[in-house]
Amino acid sequence: MPTLIEQARSNKPAAASILPRAIWPLLVGLAIGALMFYVIGPGMGDYPSKIVLIAGINIILAVSLTVVNGFTGQFSMGHAGFMAVGGYVAATITYYGSMKLFGSADPAGGVLSFTGGADKPTALARWGDALFIGSCLMGGVGAAIAGYIVGLPSLRLRGDYLAIVTLGFGEIVRVLLQGTHEQIQPWRVEDALAKPVYELAISLGGPKGFQLLPTYTTLFWVYLFVVVTLIICYRVKNSSTGRAFLSIREDEIAAQAMGVDITKYKVRAFVLAAFFAGVAGGLYAMDIGAINAGDLGFLKSFDIIIMVVLGGMGSISGAALAAIILTILPELLRNPPPVWPVGLVLIALIAGVSSYRKRFRWKPIIVIAIASTLLEVGRQIALSKGINVADFRLILYALLLITMMLVRPQGIFGIHEIWEILPGYARREAARNGARGGSQGGKP
C-alpha cells in the first residue's frame, strides 16, 4: 500500500504528468487569469469585477493564513502586518522604479494593464508590467524575511503568547511605516532621480499613506496569483512538510518524538504564509493606487482570521470560499437583496430530496423558514429606516463567529477540502485506492 504522501502525488491529472511540476500551476494560472481578465471581468461590468478582484486578494490572504493558523495550529494575529510590509516594498519599487526607469510614475503600459500603453513613446515603457510583477514578488520576499525574523524567536512561544507577539508585530509595522518621510510627489521626478535609493526607501508618505501609485493590478495578475497560491498551498498540505505542520497542530510533543523539528517547521509555515501575504499586499496597493499602513492594522488581520476560522481551520478550499463570501457579504449588505427566494429554493430542494429518499426532514426546513422570515423582516426595517446594514458588519461577524463556535467549532469544512465532504467521495476514493493497490500487486 503506497503511503498517503505518494497517493497525493499520484492524484495529478494525467495530462499534468508530462509537464514539470513547477510549470503547470503557472500555465493554469495564466489561463484562468486571462479568462478572468478578457472574458469574465468585461462581462460583469466595472463594479462587480472590482469586487471579484478584491475577493481574489482576500483568497490569497486567507489561504496563506490557513497554512499557519489552520495546518500548523499557531495563532498568528499579524497577517495584515506582512501584507503591509509586502505592499510597501512593492509600492516603493514600482513607484520610484517607474520614475527612475520610465521618467514618470504613471502606469507604463504593458499588455495587461488596464490603463493601456499605446500612447507611451518608448519601448521601455512596455516593461511596466514586468516592473510591477517583479516588485510584487520582491514584496513577497520582503514579507517572508520579516516572517523569518519575527518567527524564529517567537515561534518557541505557545498559544496565547504567540498571538500577542504577532499582534505586537503588526502594530510595530504600522507605527514604523506611519513614521516614514513625505513621499516625493509624481510631478517631481527630478527630485526622485537626484536622491539616493536609501532615502527613497524611507520616503513612503508617513501617516498620509503612500499615494498616487501606478495602478497595474488587474484581474489577470490577481487570479494568476490566486491559482498559484492555491496550488502551492494544496501541495504543501499533502507533502511531508504539510504532514509535519498537521502533526504540530495535533500534538507538539508527539510530533517532536516522531522526529519533527517543530521550531523549523513552524518558521517554515510562517515564512510561506508571509510571502503570499506580501504579494497580496503588492496587488492591493497597485489596485487602489495607494496603501496606508493605518488600514492594515489589527482589524484587517482579524478580517483574515475570520475567513480562516469560518472556512475551517486547515481547509484551503474552505478558506477560499469564506474569503469570497466575506468579500461579497458587506457589498450585499449595503443594499440587501431579498433572501427569501433563496430560502424557498432551499426548502423545495430539501423537501424534494428528503421525500425522494423517504426520510422527510422537518428540522432544516423550519430553521430555514424562520431564518428567511427574520432576515426579510430585518431587511424591511433597515430599508424603511434607511439604515446602512454594512456599518454593522463587525457585529454581524461577531455573531457569525459565536454561532460558528457553538454549532461547528472546526469551521464549515474542518481540515477537509470541499470535494472531500461531498457525498460519494469516500466511496470513489476507496474504489480508486482499491484499483491502484490491485495494479501494483500490493496488499490492501
Q: Which residues sit at the interface with other proteins, rule CB under 8 A?
A: 1, 3-5, 240, 243-244, 246-247, 250-251, 253-262, 415, 430, 443
Nearer to other proteins, 115 or 239 (CB): 239
Nearer to other proteins, 78 or 312 (CB): 312
Report the residue number, 4 or 175, with the smaller CB distance to other proteins: 4
Dist CA 275 CA 270 (whole Å): 9
Q: CB 260 → other proteins: shortest distance, Å?
A: 6
Helix (H) or strand (E) holding 37: none
380: Cβ contacts below 8 Å, ≥ 6 apart: none
Cell numbers standing for residue 265: 517547521
Q: Are 107 and 115 in contact, with CB atoms under 8 Å apart?
A: yes
Kindly state the smallest distance separating residue 238's Cβ from other proteins, in Å.
Answer: 11
Dist CA 363 CA 352 (whole Å):
14
The set of residues, in sequence order, having a beta carbon less than 8 Å from that of 265 and lying 6+ positions away, is: 72, 241, 244, 245, 248
Rounded distance between C-alpha atoms, residue 132 and residue 113, angstroms: 10
Least separation, in Å, of the C-beta of 251 and other proteins?
Answer: 5
Q: How far is the CB of 441 from other proteins (least distance, A)?
A: 13
Give the cell for residue 372.
428567511
Name the minimum Å distance from CB 2 to other proteins: 8
Least CB distance to other proteins at residue 261 (A)? 4
Nearer to other proteins, 45 or 259 (CB): 259
Q: Between 31 and 254, whose beta carbon lies closer to other proteins?
A: 254
Task: Rank residues 254 and 366 by Cβ distance to other proteins and give the closer one.
Answer: 254
**Rounded to the nearest 10 degrees, what angle do helices 316-334 and 46-65 cross at?**
140
Burial annotation 398-408 (CB, 10 A radius, 16+ → b, else e): eebeeebeeee
Q: Which of 134, 199, 197, 147 is nearest to 173 (CA)?
A: 147
Q: Residue 70 Cβ, how far from other proteins at the closest point, in Å?
A: 12
Q: Which is nearer to other proteins, 70 or 87 (CB)?
A: 70
